[in-house]
Structure 1
Amino acid sequence: MYTIGQVAKFLGVSRDTLKFYEKKELLNPKQNSENGYRKYNHLDIYDITTVNFYREIDIEIKKIQELRKSKSIEGIQSLLEEKEQEVLEKIEYNKLLLKKIQIVKEDCEKIKKYLGVYVVKEMKPIEIKGEMEHYTSYDEYDTLKESTDRLKKAVILTSLRRVIRFNDEGMLEDKFIIVRKVEDFDKAIEGEILSHPRCLYTIVEDGRWSTGGKNTDHIVEASIRKVAKEKGYELLGLVYINLLLTTYEEGLERVFLEMYVPIR
């Protein structure tokens, strides 16, 4: 027989946890009527380790109580299969989350390398999943949420691309498209594929810290035209803008945008 302190020590659980299990009728050690001390035998140890296992795999206390009353081997197997599916889904979600984290880390490197610098770069294929007239079109966000690699808990605005069409006289169209990257191994392509082999590529800074909240589209447009003229490139009248990163300075946002400007 073991004391509560001994059990807590070699099973790595607290006394409070053991008392909680007892309160929830998941554990029933013998109790000395004179001093109230509990004594645990090997069967109690089995109970504790079993309850610990169920708690570790996030089985609710209520379900464990039901298991204590009666549950066949088949019933336990079915319960574990349900939990297995939940764990597999969490693993897939965490893989996607890890991928997003790694992408943002790469974006930080891009900002350091290309901020204010113009180079010729390919805009790799993206699949168009839908369009939004404006980023404040909240009723269209459901389409966006369905198109973000199943990453949940938030609307992932990095799946938006702002598209500007222009000519020598000025802006013709300004809209947002909902996209996802097309990987080499992608097979389930449903929407239109968009790509441009040659683009002027740069990263610009926006946000209240650097611009005071003013619209700087005309400044960026002038810079693009200037670089294209100097290099002898013909602009195709399109700009694709992608949000890379938002950070803060003195409480004001600094927004970093990457731009692909197709050229000939």
Structure 2
Amino acid sequence: MERNTYRTSQLFEILGVSRDALRYYEKQGIVKPNHDESNNYRQYNDYDIYTLLVADFYIKRNLSMKEVRKLQEGRAIEELETLLEVKAEQLEETIRNKKFMLQKIKETKVFCEELKEHLNQYSIRKFPTYEVIDEFSDFYSFLEYPALLQNMDMMKDDILSKIMRKFTFDENGFLDSKMYIVEKHETIHKENIGCYLQYSKCIYTIVEDGRYQNGNSDIKYKVFESTVEWGNEQGLKPKGVAFVNTRLITYLDNKERAFLEIYVPVEEE
């Protein structure tokens, strides 16, 4: 039986496959078209098209080109079933990570909206629940970061969101500063054992830091003086501790603008 032949341009019309994609399929050994010796054009036959249809079938089921090629060599149904189970597990993990990323996007978007209202303004807010996993000395103590990486899922966590700066102070000024490695929780189950930060009443504000705003100066003294002053005006007594999260980084004139979220727990009546 004589088979029909098709040019590369026709396969785009038939299958929607681009020239570059066909070259990639060919390079991976998925299809092996003949060449017209008179003009060196590739010629695809009916079987090549069928092979491309099968390849597309399995690529849309998360198989790699290498796995499709191996499948062409022959594989028992039981082996294929096992492979598809692995692919399903991999895809489920990807979906979980993507959902986690989507949640992060939504949270950052909400922060962008709140930024307009809370930048350099003070209010009272409950402190979110964080579990303290570990700690290190300072943000710029980069040689201590390996301890941070050990407590991260590198597929979904980012370093800035895993660290929180803690300050302690009294009426005379700052006493100490350290970095916490944290995990945010919506709730704490009774069986959970760990070190958790929980404060139901805090002075809350957002401030801008970074080279664009402050050069190389440290704004913490100015910020906390004004925060404590506002608290005193409201009759609030700080507990002598403050927490700072980096929530957003943007750039202007090639200098970063860091927007920091600050919580200063206060005594409750």
Pairwise TM-score range, normalised by the shorter structure? 0.7 to 0.9
Contact 1:8 1:18 in 2 (8 A): no
Cα distance in 1, alignment partners of residues 44 and 227 from structure 2: 80
3-state SS, counterpart of residue 13 of structure 1: coil
Shift of 1:20: 5.2
Shift of 1:201: 0.6
1:89-238 alignment, distance < 5 Å: 89-148=93-152, 150-152=153-155, 155-184=158-187, 189-238=192-241
* Counterpart residue type for residue 245 of structure 1: L
Correspondent of 1:251 among 251, 254, 259: 254
3-state SS, counterpart of residue 198 of structure 2: strand
CA shift in 2, pair 1:15/1:117, >3 Å: closer
Contact 2:33 2:45 in 1 (8 A): yes
Cα distance in 2, alignment partners of residues 16 and 165 from structure 1: 60
* Counterpart residue type for residue 224 of structure 1: T
3-state SS, counterpart of residue 123 of structure 1: coil
Structure 1 length normalisation: TM-score?
0.86
* Counterpart residue type for residue 251 of structure 2: Y
Shift of 1:114: 0.4
* Counterpart residue type for residue 199 of structure 1: C
CA shift in 2, pair 1:6/1:196, >3 Å: same
- Name the structure 1 match of 2:58: 54
Shift of 1:147: 3.8
Cα distance in 1, alignment partners of residues 160 and 247 from structure 2: 10
Cα distance in 2, alignment partners of residues 122 and 138 from structure 1: 31
Shift of 1:63: 3.2
Cα distance in 2, alignment partners of residues 187 and 56 from structure 1: 44
**Structure 1, residues 139-194: CA drift from partner, whole Å, max 9, x if none?**
4434433444x352774212211100111122121001111111138687442111
Cα distance in 1, alignment partners of residues 227 and 24 from structure 2: 67
Cα distance in 1, alignment partners of residues 113 and 226 from structure 2: 23
- Name the structure 2 match of 1:38: 43
Shift of 1:7: 4.0
3-state SS, counterpart of residue 214 of structure 1: coil
CA shift in 2, pair 1:20/1:208, >3 Å: closer
Cα distance in 1, alignment partners of residues 144 and 165 from structure 2: 15
Alpha-carbon RMSD across the aligned residues, in angstroms, is 2.7
* Counterpart residue type for residue 241 of structure 1: V
Q: Which moved more, 1:46-55 or 1:136-145?
A: 136-145
Shift of 1:200: 0.7
**Structure 1, residues 10-46: CA drift from partner, whole Å, max 9, x if none?**
22113554465456543356778888773623x4433
Shift of 1:212: 2.2
**Structure 1, residues 192-230: CA drift from partner, whole Å, max 9, x if none?**
111111111111111121212211222112212211221
Q: Which moved more, 1:14-23 or 1:170-179?
A: 14-23
Cα distance in 2, alignment partners of residues 95 and 135 from structure 1: 29
* Counterpart residue type for residue 110 of structure 2: E
CA shift in 2, pair 1:79/1:188, >3 Å: farther
CA shift in 2, pair 1:187/1:71, >3 Å: farther
Cα distance in 1, alignment partners of residues 42 and 174 from structure 2: 82
Structure 2 length normalisation: TM-score?
0.84
Contact 1:238 1:262 in 2 (8 A): yes
